[in-house]
Amino acid sequence: MTRQQPSRPLPFGYAASNPGRVRLNLIRYCYCHPASSLFLLVGPVFCAAMMLVHPHWVAGVIAFGIATLAYVSRLFIHFRSGDANPGVVISIDPLLVAAYTDLSKIGRPYPAVKVIRCTAFQLNLDEPKVGTKVPTVCMYAGKPSADRWTDFDPKPVSTATTNAEVIERVSMSFPKHQWQALVDAVRQLPKPYKRGMYTATGERLRNWGGGGKKKDRGR
């Protein structure tokens, strides 16, 4: 389990104890996330077309370009420097993956599970099955001065690459007790499974944010 977990590794001064070290294939990621494709491809084309009609849009196009570079840079940082954590398929219809982490920075562990919705294509699987291991890379959110993070964003490694060796390397980086902690946590999740984040208090997991209504940034 990771104790020093980064929301933004460099500004906050934190470093993942098990960084993903995954080289992002941006084309693969865009195929997995069509909305990102629209943002990265359609947006610039639209702005360029409008600039021809309205030259004063130059400042807007430049601002959009800066925002796009920042977004892409954050994706590369997410998979390269983010915290690698185990995930597992817990439902087929809908296809849901549960990722496990420890939100604490110091002191007592604060286990958490994030349930995200995926597609078979995103997982690079022809026929996903319940129990299939899904290595993920996560970023964290919250106040730098707090004892623990308040949210995390797990992204399956398979959305960044289809390289089987890379996916296997990340999967093998988790010790057995970390996989077992994930299995034990999933057993405590309320059914039917819903997207959202669940945190542990003592021995029981509870849905944090109410019924999975919390925005799922891992989708």
Q: What is the C-alpha to C-alpha distance for residues 198 and 196, in angstroms, rounded to an integer?
A: 7
Number of C-beta neighbours around residue 183 at 10 A: 13
pLDDT band at 108 (very low <50, low <70, confident <90, very high): confident
Residue 147 pLDDT exceeds 50: yes
Of 98, 76, 96, nearest to 87 (Cα)?
Answer: 98
Torsion sign, CA atoms 105, 12, 87, 200: positive
Number of C-beta neighbours around residue 32 at 10 A: 21
Which pLDDT does position 43 carry in this prediction?
67
> The domain 1-212: what is its CATH number?
2.40.410.10
List pLDDT tens digits, range 4-40. 444 434 345 677 889 999 999 999 999 999 887 777 7
The phi, psi pair for 80, rounded to 5°, reads -80, -45
* pLDDT > 90 fraction of the chain, expressed in percent and rounded: 58
Q: What is the pTM of this model?
A: 0.81
pLDDT band at 208 (very low <50, low <70, confident <90, very high): very low
List pLDDT tens digits, range 59-70. 777 777 787 888
Of 96, 197, 80, nearest to 148 (Cα)?
Answer: 197
196-201 and 111-117 beta bridge pairing: antiparallel
For the chain, the domains span 1-212
Which pLDDT does position 205 carry in this prediction?
57
The phi, psi pair for 193, rounded to 5°, reads -65, 140
Q: What is the C-alpha to C-alpha distance for residues 10 and 150, in angstroms, rounded to an integer?
A: 19
